Every structure is written in C-alpha cells, then in structure tokens.
C-alpha cells in the first residue's frame, strides 16, 4: 500500500475543503482549533497502471496549513503525527508532499524518531525528490525547444542549486542534457563552491545577475527572494520552471515572452477518481499531482518499498533513470507548456 501525506495550500482552502467533505465542525473552527486537530486519513485510492497492475493507497491530510509555519512546534507535530498515522495504518511507502518534507528536513525531524508508542520506520517514507528532479529535467528538455531555445546554446539558471532537488537537476542538466552553461544560484557560498567542484563547471552568480542572463530558469528554492525578480530584466523568450513550493512564480514574473511552467507536476493517463488533489488546486485534479506523490505510487508499482529519496544530496543519475523509466511505464507524463489549462497559481484564491 502507498500513502500520500498532503495538506491544503491555505487555511481558507482547508476550511472550504473540510466543508465540501462534510467535516462541518472543522470548517467552522479557527486556526487554534486546527493547530490541535489530529491528522486524518481522508481517502482510500486505487490506481491502475497501463500495464494492468493495480495498487491501493491512502491520502492522509496532516491538517497542517502554511499559516502554521511560524509555529515551530505545531508544524513539527503535524508532520510527525501524520507520519505516525501512515505507519499505524500499515502503509508501506508514503510520500511527504508539499511542506511536509521541507519541514521534516529543515526542522531536523530525523532526531524525532519516537512518536509516543511508535518508532517511526524511515524505510516507509520518501521525500519523492528523485522523481521531482527527473520530472523537472524532462520539463526543461521538452519545453525549451518549443520556445525556440536550443539547450546546447542556452544558459540555464538553477535557483536553489545546492538543495536536494536543485543539485540533482544540476547533475542531470550538465551530464545528460548538455546545456551550454549552468548558472548556479543559492544563498550559502560554501555549498555552492562544493557543487561547482563536483559538477566540474557552472558559474556562481547572484540571483539578479543570473536572471539577466538565463534562457531557462529552474526555480527549486522556496525563497521569498522571488519577490526581487524584475521581469523587465529577463531575457525573451525565457522558460521558467516553477519547481518550488508554494508555486507562485507566475505572479512574480509575468510578461510577453516569459513562460512559467508549474514544475514537478505530472499527469496520469486516466482519471484516478479521488477528491484530494482538488485540495492542491490542480488544473486537472483527477489526473494531475505532485511528482513526489507519484513517486510513492511508482515505488509501490515497482515493489520498491523503501525510502528511495531520503536525506540530502543522495540523488544519483542512476536513481533518476530508474524512477524515470518507471514513471513512463506506469503512465505518468510531465506537465508541459502546451497544456490547455495551466495550473492556477497558489495565490489565485
């Protein structure tokens, strides 16, 4: 069985979702009430691959909302309790979606393995970052040419280059895609220098300078710095892959010749018949989902019930190959620019 741990994109949308699912008491509660509410296993899901294989899974809402981020202990508790609920339900492999894996990593929850009577078994969880990184690379490779951008002559900026997803994307783009030049952007100088050495190339730039030179921008940092993007200084055409969380780049960088694509989103080949991706505000919620969620499904399909994506900087090209092949085999497709209905923005509500 696979599991997905997710949450609503805002307190307001969480309340609306609760109302639509018939949890009226929760819909009327204030943020303090939500801070004390336990995680809920809200939906059972079955997914059938084009291969004919059928798998069962469950969606757990951690009852976290981004408004809780400033409450360190609350955010931490939401993540740990949701993981405990997944494990108690016997779920073999669970993806940590949205802010869940960010909180897990940033708040160093590896130190918090004991949740009441449950010892969390890390083998049962995956960040889903390997699949997300692979999907983002596919999105670069498939969409840049459509805008007339020849990747062999293009400069690709990776913002958040030293993160788990960012460094994997850099590795792939430099070794597999063969872009002309990688522009490496991150906050801390030392990890950047280390990455540059590992890659054997790439130029370290400030965000502003990178934006002025890049033909393609892969945004995998959830930085507030997006507010400092000056659309007037961007090259045209410019492909921007919004792989951060939340996905709000299209509100920061818009204009003629700037093409923002929701990064790390995949579309399944047929309707899944679930309610929960409505909560993530996907354009086609019956088929679209975060690539990290899809990773849990892929690992279940492949019988790889293990923490495939775990820790930082462990994503190898071989693992990306493996999960990418599984992704294609089981009917997932990376979201592309030509998609008729783009995913609405995080802040569009």
Partner 1 sequence: MPTLETTTSVDSALGPLEGSELPDFTTAAYKDAYSRINAIVIEGEQEAHDNYMSLGTLLPDQAEELGRLARMELKHMKGFTACANNLGVTADMPFAQEFFSPLRNNFQAALKDGKVVTCLLIQALLIEAFAISAYHIYIPVADPFARKITEGVVKDEYTHLNYGQEWLKAHLEESRAELEQANRDNLPHVRRMLDRVAADAAVLHMEKEDLIEDFLIAYQDALTDIGFTPREIARMAAAALLG
Residues that bind partner 1 (CB under 8 A): 21-23, 25-26, 28-29, 32-33, 35-38, 40-42, 66-67, 69-70, 72-75, 77, 81, 84-85, 88, 99, 102-103, 106-108, 111, 116-117, 221-224, 246, 248, 347
Which regions of 287-340 does DSSP assign to beta strands (E)? 288-290, 332-334
For 47, phi and psi rounded to 5 degrees? -130, 130
Question: In a 3-state reduction of DSSP, which class is residue 47?
Answer: strand
Considering the complex, what minimum distance in angstroms separates the CB of residue 167 from partner 1?
A: 16
The answer to whether 292 and 2 are in contact (CB under 8 A) is no
The answer to whether 105 and 137 are in contact (CB under 8 A) is no
Considering the complex, what minimum distance in angstroms separates the CB of residue 248 from partner 1?
A: 7
Closer residue to partner 1 in complex, CB, 224/341: 224
Closer residue to partner 1 in complex, CB, 268/274: 274
Considering the complex, what minimum distance in angstroms separates the CB of residue 311 from partner 1?
A: 17
Considering the complex, what minimum distance in angstroms separates the CB of residue 221 from partner 1?
A: 7
- CA torsion 128-131-134-138 (nearest 10°) is -120
Residue 331 to residue 52: CA distance in whole angstroms:
11
CB half-sphere exposure, 35, CA atoms < 13 A: 13
Considering the complex, what minimum distance in angstroms separates the CB of residue 32 from partner 1?
A: 8
Closer residue to partner 1 in complex, CB, 102/320: 102
Closer residue to partner 1 in complex, CB, 192/299: 192
Closer residue to partner 1 in complex, CB, 114/180: 114
Instruction: Return the closest-CA partner of residue 233 out of 258, 251, 250.
Output: 258
Closer residue to partner 1 in complex, CB, 32/338: 32
Considering the complex, what minimum distance in angstroms separates the CB of residue 9 from partner 1?
A: 10
**Torsion sign, CA atoms 182, 188, 190, 194:** negative
């Amino acid at each position: 069985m696979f599991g997905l741990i997710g949450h609503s994109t805002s307190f307001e949308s969480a309340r609306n979702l609760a109302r639509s699912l018939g949890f009226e008491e929760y819909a009327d509660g204030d943020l303090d009430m939500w801070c004390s509410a336990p995680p809920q296993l809200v939906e059972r899901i079955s997914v059938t691959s084009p291969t004919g294989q059928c798998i069962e899974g469950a969606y757990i809402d951690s009852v976290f909302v981004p408004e809780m981020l400033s409450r360190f202990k609350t955010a931490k508790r939401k993540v740990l309790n949701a993981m405990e609920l997944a494990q108690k339900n016997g779920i073999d492999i669970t993806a940590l979606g949205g802010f869940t894996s960010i909180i897990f990593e940033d708040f160093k929850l590896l130190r918090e393995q004991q949740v009441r009577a449950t010892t969390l078994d890390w083998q049962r969880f995956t960040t889903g970052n390997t699949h997300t990184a692979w999907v983002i690379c596919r999105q670069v490779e498939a969409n840049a040419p459509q805008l007339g951008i020849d990747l062999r002559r293009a400069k690709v900026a990776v913002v958040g280059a030293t993160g788990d997803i960012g460094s994997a994307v850099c590795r792939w783009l430099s070794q597999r895609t063969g872009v002309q030049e990688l522009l490496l952007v991150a906050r801390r100088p030392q990890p950047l220098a280390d990455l540059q050495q590992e890659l054997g190339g790439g130029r370290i730039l400030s965000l502003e300078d990178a934006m002025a030179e890049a033909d393609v921008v892969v945004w995998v940092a959830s930085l507030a710095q997006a507010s400092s993007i000056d659309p007037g200084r961007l090259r045209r055409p410019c492909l921007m892959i919004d792989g951060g969380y939340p996905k709000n780049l299209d509100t920061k960088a818009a204009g003629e010749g700037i093409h923002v694509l929701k990064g790390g989103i995949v579309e399944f080949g047929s309707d899944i018949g679930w309610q929960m991706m409505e909560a993530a505000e996907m354009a086609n919620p019956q088929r679209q989902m975060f690539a990290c969620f899809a990773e849990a499904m892929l690992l279940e399909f492949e019988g790889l019930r293990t923490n495939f994506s775990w820790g930082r900087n462990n994503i190898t090209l071989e693992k990306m190959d493996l999960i990418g092949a599984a992704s294609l085999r089981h009917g997932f497709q990376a979201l592309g620019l030509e998609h008729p209905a783009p995913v609405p923005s995080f802040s569009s509500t």
